[in-house]
Structure 1
């Protein structure tokens, strides 16, 4: 099998820039739209938006690799790292590590990429993993670094990375490429193209024993942030996780050639979809502020507790809506009081009601 790094022109990727021009323009327009929308959110909600988006990214970049994290633990760790009021939840090592990495990527977006930064992120991400021989350093093992699936006796090799002996030189060239193609570099690239090629380039070297996917997506976030000139809150991993199979299929195909137009187009479209996720989240926070402007004074303590709990679920809200039983569970009140509270919320225009009898469900009434 021929891999991209074995080809004579490696790493000179080829792509049709004319097919990406419109996507690049849309990226810049959407970036401006997100920035404009965020300005309509209060400071505390901006903090919560940042925590929500970064925790989603931490959760989903791990989920892509089949790792399930505890959301509360991730958010608690993020709040502490940002110097915000934190709860008493003790962050688990895995969650604390990925949260620490996300904060570092976010906070140091503008600095040039270095080997030391990559080692630092790898250490944050995997210092808890006792299976690895090297944490915070490039791999050195003699065995082939392969991406495989299938049965142990009949493995399917999806990709084989360069031998460990080549990694140091490959990464020296990659770090130079990353910095040179940035907005301040001599070979500056447009945002989507640079992020797409950078992610593919890094994944093709696969320089660490583990964690390459998570670090590669973090690099794409850093790349995009540098090009828009501020920390990125683009829900990239969140969006990739929803199309995980397509992501791996596209990556596998791109790692067999240097003609990578399909990959750049796919990745660019995914970033645009991720921007819309972020924009929807920002609009949700704006709608939340307007909701409280209209209804805060009308809510009793029980209603306020339930509304706050529903907002905590995010734009999707409770799966299947709020039932009377959920209201009872949250407030601990009587069924008669719950019925009266819910009816009041509907009459005030704070909620809408769907269904009948035991299928009755309640939804926050949010205006865009």
Structure 2
């Protein structure tokens, strides 16, 4: 018996899900979401911008990594800093593809109230592949695919087909139907829940798979757009791609399971809502680091540090309390600051004298150091009650 895919059933593109199964998850997600957005709303403009930059960096790096493409984190940081007007640029400039990925994600969120069109989707796709290649293969860019699309795994000759997308001649009509649904759905109280709508938008786009490559990245961008519409905010303060990357096998597994079914996408929506919740929790931790970093520079605003010291201190702050592997030692300082043993020793002693770091007990033959966190950690951090 031939395998039948979801778009081959007569009910497509109508999808079904068990509202009772999802109800408690939606409630939990809304509680986490409202807490995060409420906490962020009381931050000053500069801190909110810093938080937005950190989240966007993660989203850009991870949405590409999910598809096996590794972007240079320093280039990503430079691109994000340039687009948001941040002072903390990376050590290397961004390449065209990195800049384009940042621009696509920003466009999706910033212009969330602009109806999504075929032309805009094609523009995103063309931007993601500026040279017309995916790896070593030339692809159709800025237009729908012209070939059959199968999702496969395994060695050549023994490949397993996980999913077959609609034929190329059906793509334009499929996308028209999808966009009509997306642009005419609202997240008002009387309509579909906004989180469900975002999850369905992601799923339907991936099921159509309209491009030769980049479908996952564009699906995650339009999911960000749907979430921005739900929150009525152009600024994203959590990264779904970062969460998906941490559970990539489950992500592909649940998509495959639903795409080989007759239209029940409850398992996908369960996974999506669980991932959303975990993404928000992770974001709370990241924003706490922003608050701690701001507290440090406020505490030591009048303290003069050289460029090497600033770099190492920022590395410790970015890692977070207790998260810098193995603590700081003279050898690690030399490596991070790219300096000599004698200079590293002077810098460390100077930081101790200024009360910025402290020598830890039990360091053995090699002294270990850590920041004096107790001096600058804020009196409160984002903790849900």
Same fold flag (TM > 0.5) = yes
Q: Aligned pair 1:171/2:175, yes or no? A: yes
Q: Aligned pair 1:224/2:227, yes or no? A: yes
Among 166, 185, 188, the alignment partner of 1:181 is 185
CA distance in 2, matches of 1:40, 1:355: 41
Structure 2: give runs of 5+ residues left out of the alignment: none
CA distance in 2, matches of 1:340, 1:63: 40
User: For residue 275 of structure 2, what is the aligned residue in structure 1?
Assistant: 270
| Deviating more after overlay: 29-38 vs 145-154 | 29-38
CA distance in 1, matches of 2:365, 2:67: 40
Flag the 1:7–1:128 CA change in 2: closer, same or farther, 3 A. same
The RMSD of aligned alpha carbons is 2.6
1:127-175 CA-partner distances (Å, limit 9, x unpaired): 223334421111122xx20000101010010100000010011100000
Q: Aligned pair 1:151/2:155, yes or no? A: yes
Among 312, 325, 343, the alignment partner of 2:331 is 325
| Deviating more after overlay: 309-318 vs 132-141 | 309-318
CA distance in 1, matches of 2:129, 2:325: 33
Among 124, 128, 133, the alignment partner of 2:127 is 124
**Residues 1-368 of structure 1 correspond to what in structure 2 (within 5 A)?**
1-85=3-87, 89-130=92-133, 131-141=137-147, 144-183=148-187, 188-231=191-234, 232-257=236-261, 258-297=263-302, 300-301=305-306, 303-313=309-319, 318-329=324-335, 330=337, 332=339, 334=343, 336-341=345-350, 343-344=352-353, 348=355, 353=360, 355-358=362-365, 360-364=367-371, 365=373, 366=377, 368=381
What is the deviation of 1:323? Answer: 1.9
Flag the 1:352–1:62 CA change in 2: closer, same or farther, 3 A. farther
Alignment size in residue pairs: 363
What is the deviation of 1:43? Answer: 2.7
1:96-136 CA-partner distances (Å, limit 9, x unpaired): 22112122112112222111221111111112233344211
CA distance in 2, matches of 1:360, 1:88: 29
Is the 8 Å Cα contact of residues 149 and 155 (structure 1) preserved in structure 2? yes
Is the 8 Å Cα contact of residues 329 and 369 (structure 2) preserved in structure 1? yes
CA distance in 2, matches of 1:287, 1:335: 25
